[in-house]
Structure 1
């Protein structure tokens, strides 16, 4: 790798941007959201058929989408905010995230 990305000490570094979270594997635990300083992903409600119902708002923790809520998952809804630090991948208990090297991910 050549010097497009460097750490403070000048070492080469390649950011790995979060590109996707597998909704069939994600358990909606929120660990990734808690460590992300950039609000790249948010918790969404899912119905029995696997359809995304909408964002689960922090202000209304009892939101059940008119009884349709089956479970919750994390969804990458602000991918452009990701800085490629990898904190989310380190805390995910299900390894359900996909990351792409900065030199391969389209802006």
Structure 2
């Protein structure tokens, strides 16, 4: 992993897109990013990580893709999800303001036991990234991250991420029949796409066994083409 990051850093420094910093400076920058409520993320792989990034909701195109256009599948979430303890929550709304993808909405509430609490936060769990920014903003500790019920499968390498994303997004037909000018490919994309959208097929595509078989077949095909190096990145 370190080698990958060093290669990426060398490129950035060589082209004057950034500067070399010490480990102490880097850790200080990460601490500042945390205090500013930025989203710490990295390449969506378990090995061969090429970058780490601190994203703000006003500038990051990926985060805006979720908050403004609802493209939740553009990002692989963490293995955690935000939860709220409504008993401890005072309804201040700081978590909603802090959320980088606007997954927290403040809704009116009428609680006789808490007359000062006019609103309560509700989480859109289908788009929550599990970044933890909301928990850091909560002064009453009413917000915390818990393990997701459904396991999040993070790709091992960049090759696996690129190959497996069509399975997760339901666009596998575009990966297989990728010639936009071929009439035969267009027809096959329609047929295969319709088949893949059937509920039983969609469920089967999420199984570890099928994903492993599909990935092995793709690796074998790439290797036969003399491009085995792609499977290592």
- Tell me the TM-score normalised to structure 2 length: 0.29
Superposed, 1:5-84 pairs within 5 Å as 8=51, 15=78, 16-18=80-82, 20-48=83-111, 71-76=118-123, 78-84=124-130
Query: Number of residues paired by the alignment?
Result: 79
Give the Å deviation of 1:70.
5.8
Segments of 4+ in structure 1 off by > 4 A?
none
The structure, 1 or 2, with the larger RCO (C-alpha pairs under 8 Å, 6+ apart) is 1
**What whole-Å deviation, never above 9, does each CA across 1:4-56 have from its counterpart, x for those lacking one?**
8x6835xxxx93321x2111111111111111121211112221357xxxxxx
Larger radius of gyration: 2
- Distance in 2 of aligned mates of 1:92 and 1:7: 32
Question: In 2 relative to 1, CA 8–84 (structure 1 residues): closer, same or farther, beyond 3 Å?
Answer: farther
Give the Å deviation of 1:83.
1.4
> Contact 1:39–1:81 (CA<8 Å) still a contact in 2?
no
Question: In 2 relative to 1, CA 91–7 (structure 1 residues): closer, same or farther, beyond 3 Å?
Answer: farther
Structure with more of its chain in strand, by fraction: 1
Structure with more of its chain in helix, by fraction: 2
CA RMSD in angstroms, aligned pairs only: 3.0
- Distance in 2 of aligned mates of 1:81 and 1:70: 26
Question: In 2 relative to 1, CA 21–48 (structure 1 residues): closer, same or farther, beyond 3 Å?
Answer: same
Q: Which runs of 5+ in 1 are unaligned?
A: 51-68
> Contact 1:33–1:42 (CA<8 Å) still a contact in 2?
yes
Paired residue for 1:97?
Answer: 143
